[in-house]
Each structure stands twice: as structure tokens, then as C-alpha cells.
Amino acid sequence: MDKFTTLTGVAAPMPLVNIDTDMIIPKQFLKTIARTGLGKNLFDEMRYDADGKEKPEFVLNQPAYRDAEIIVAGDNFGCGSSREHAPWALLDFGIRCVISTSFADIFFNNCFKNGILPVVLPQSAVEELMEDARRGANARITVDLDSQTVTGAEGKTYHFDVDPFKKHCLLNGLDDIGLTLEKAGSIDAFEKKAAATRPWA
């Protein structure tokens, strides 16, 4: 998993509330267990028409936001089913941070396990950052995980809270497997001791 330290990038405004995981990656794309290749179907039903052509009005189809790395969204982002494909699709598209007033719990935790930082801010802060995002590619937002701050295009800074353990994992690029491998020495020592003291086991 890639580390998340500081990110400065274009933010796409998505003011909808209750953006659920089926909107993020529809159910017909859940057949794969690969974490790559899902970005092209991110927000599929909002991005494409029935013929598979891009809808020009959808934010991520607009030239200013095709390379967005941040989403500023409405309340309760990631609700619905618990599919981990949702953060996989966001990450594969290039999204590393989502800013909202609230997230569904399972989606929120899955983001941290996949290298995406979900930032919770008060409604007033999200509205101000949404206005920044609407200005397009010339208005970049900076997210600093170490200092736990988001800085808008005009330099205004907002502080966010984050669980210390989740912060440690993101800063160091540690998913569940990486956390286990950190203890590889202790695991090896335990197995050698167990083999010596209980050879029959």
C-alpha cells in the first residue's frame, strides 16, 4: 500500500448526499478480486449513458476534474453495502482523499486499509472547500496527514481528527498484511521456540 503523507491536488465537487457504494462501483463490476482496472467504472451509471458514452455534465468527465485526486462530497459518503471494491475503484481512478461531513463506518475503515484518507470536517468547512473545488484545476487543495490539516485554495486551514493507529498505518503504507509483516521477527522466534519445546505439535 502506498504511503499517504501530503497531497496537493485538484478536488472534484460532489455535493450529493448519501453517495452509496453501488453508485461508486455498481454491482455488475464486483466479479473481480483484482484491485486494479475498476477506475474506468467508477461512478459508472453517473459517468456514462446507456450507449457507454460519457455524460459531459458529470464532474469527473469535465476536463478540469479528469485528474482529480480529492473528492469533496455531501453527507454520509460510502453508505450502502460493505463492498471493498468501492475504495478499490476510487484508488484505481486516482482518488487518494475524500472530504465529507460523515462516512459510513465500513467504507470509512476500508479506505484506510486501501491507502485512501477519509477526512471528516464540519458542514461549514466542507461547504467552503466545495466552493474551492468548483473553481476547477486552478484551485488546488492540500491535505497534510501528519499535521492533520486541509488547506484550501486561498490558504485557509481546517484541522481534522484521525485515529492515531489509522494515521500510523497510512503514513507508513501499512495494510493488514504489512502490519503482520512488521512482526515477522517475533513470529519466527515464536515458531522456532514452539518447534523446540513441542516437537510433536
Where along the chain do its domains lie?
6-173
Q: Which CATH superfamily is domain 6-173 in?
A: Aconitase, domain 4 (3.20.19.10)
Could you tell me what percent of the chain has a pLDDT over 90?
82
Read off the C-alpha cell for 118. 477519509
Amino acid at 141: I
Per the listing, cell 464486483 goes with 30
Q: Cα 34 vs. chain centroid, distance in angstroms?
A: 17
Q: How far apart are CA 127 and CA 36, in angstroms?
A: 32
pLDDT of amino acid 138:
85
pLDDT of amino acid 6:
98
pLDDT tens digits along 85-124: 999 999 999 999 999 999 999 999 999 999 999 999 999 9
- Strands of the sheet containing 6-14, edge to edge, are 117-120, 97-100, 70-73, 6-14, 140-144, 149-151, 157-159
Angle, CA of 62, 103 and 79, to the nearest 5°: 80
pLDDT tens digits along 29-82: 998 888 889 999 999 999 999 999 999 999 999 999 999 999 999 999 999 998
Residue 26 scores a pLDDT above 80: yes
Residue 84 scores a pLDDT above 90: yes
Amino acid at 95: I
Residue of 35 and 23 predicted with greater confidence: 23
pLDDT tens digits along 155-200: 999 999 999 999 999 999 997 666 665 655 676 666 676 667 877 7
